[in-house]
Amino acid sequence: MINPHKTGLALGGTIAAWHLLWSLLVLAGWAQFVIDRVFRLHFITPPYTVGQFSLVLAVGLIVVTFVTGYVVGWAFSVIWNRMSE
């Protein structure tokens, strides 16, 4: 059995941490370099320009990704537990 709450926290926390890192890259001014390199590694001409850092948007991004990750992790574990009964 998988604990839905712990799975949700683990997935939500992981995804939120990834987006916290992205927000810190934007704040430091390194995000454009990173996103350009990632696109070029995939043989794609970089189509986006990273905007200026906003604390409100950064917090919103982290909260939304945590909640989304939590819900997906919780739902996955509930489905997994029901299918393994």
Using one digit for the tens of pLDDT, what is the confidence trace for 41-74?
Answer: 999 999 999 999 999 999 999 999 999 999 999 9
Q: What was the pLDDT predicted at 85?
A: 83
Q: Which domain holds residue 10?
A: 4-83
CB 8 within 8 A of CB 73: yes
pLDDT tens by residue, 11-36: 999 999 999 999 999 999 999 999 99
Question: For the chain, what is the domain count?
Answer: 1
Q: Which of 68, 63, 61 has the alpha carbon at shortest distance from 27?
A: 61
